[in-house]
Structure 1
Amino acid sequence: MDTQHIWEEFSGKLQGFIFSRVNNQFDADDILQDVFRKIHDNIDSVEDDAKIQGWLFRIARNTIIDHYRSKAKNNSVPIDDKEDMFAAPEEEVANLNETVASWLNATIADLPDKYREAIVLTEIEGLTQKELAERLGISLSGAKSRVQRGREKLKEMILDCCHLEFDRLGNVIDYTRNESCCAKCKTQSSCKSSCEKGA
C-alpha cells in the first residue's frame, strides 16, 4: 500500500482522531501533514498491510504527544492529565488485544503438563478453582497455586517473545518482538508471523 492509497482510505479517520485531541483546526492540519510525512518516509518498513491501521494511529498518537510536549516546553500548554487524549481508537485497541489473545493457545500448549491442564480447565473450560481441585483430586490451596503459577508461566513465555505496552485499563496498545525471541517463535512460523510487527 502506498501513501496515496493510505491518504484516500485513512486521512479522514486520522484527521478526526487528531482534531478530537487537539481541538484546533490549524494545529490539527499541521499535525496531519507531519503524520503523512512520517508515513511517507517509513512506509517501506510495513511488511503486513493488515497491520497498517494500527501503525498509522500509533504514528498519529506519537505526533500528537510530540505536539503537546513542544507546547509544554514553551509553557503554553501543560501536558499533565492529557493521557486519555492520546488513547488509540477502540477498534485499534480491540485488534491488538485480539492479536495477543490469538497467541495464547499455542503458548498454553507449551506449558508443563500440570500447569497446562489447570489453565485449560479454569480459563478455557470455565471450572472454578474448587471444581479444579475436585477434578484433579488435590487440595483447594494446591489448585489455586497451580492456576496462579500457570498464569505466571504463561505471562513469562509471552513476554519472552514480545515486549507489550498497556494502557491504564490493561489494554494492549503496542507490541514489539524481542531480539532474543523464544525458540518457539524462531522455529514455528505460525507463532513467528503472529508475533512480528508490521512496523
Structure 2
Amino acid sequence: MAYHYQELSRSIIIAAKKGSRDDFNRIVERYQRPIYGFVNKMTHSPTETEDLTQEIFLKLYLNIKKYDPERRFSSWLFTIARRIVIDYFRKKGRNKELFIIDDPENYFEPSIDPPNMGDKIDIQEAFLNLKPRYQRVLFLRYWKGESYRSISRKSHLSLNTVKTYIRRGKKELRRKLPD
C-alpha cells in the first residue's frame, strides 16, 4: 500500500529545526504512518517496527539541525530510516552477504565476487541510492533470505518481475560501486 502525503511546508520544518516542539510534533504526525509502513515492509514484525519507528524519530529529533532545507525533507527522513533498519539487521546478525548466489537465475558474474567488492560501507551507500523497488527485493532476498516466490507474494509482484528487479538492482549496484 503506497502512502500519499504532501511535503510539509518549509516554515514548519525550519521552525522544528530551530527547536519548536510543536512543529516537530507536526512532522511526526505527518510522517509517522509512512515511516511505520516503510519499516514494516522490511521487518514484518509489529514490535520491531514500533521500536525502529521510535528510534527513527529520536534520531530525527537529535539531528534535525543538520537538515539542509534545499533537499527534500522526505528523502532525507527516509534515508535516515533506511540506514537505521540496515544497521538494526546488521547488529542482530540477520543480514546475509549481499551477493549470495544459490541458483543461476541470479545472473552471477565474476566481477561481483564479494571478496572483490571492497568496503561494506561502499555497498551500503550504493544500496541506499538504488530505486526503492530494487532495494525492497534485494533486501528481502539477501538480508532476509526470502525465496523469489515469497518475495513475489509479499510484494504483490509476478515472479518474473521479482527476478527482473533483482537482476536490475544488482546491475545498478555494481555500476554504483567504485572499481
Q: TM-score, normalised by structure 2?
A: 0.43
**Larger Rg: 1 or 2?**
1
Return the structure number with greater strand share. 1
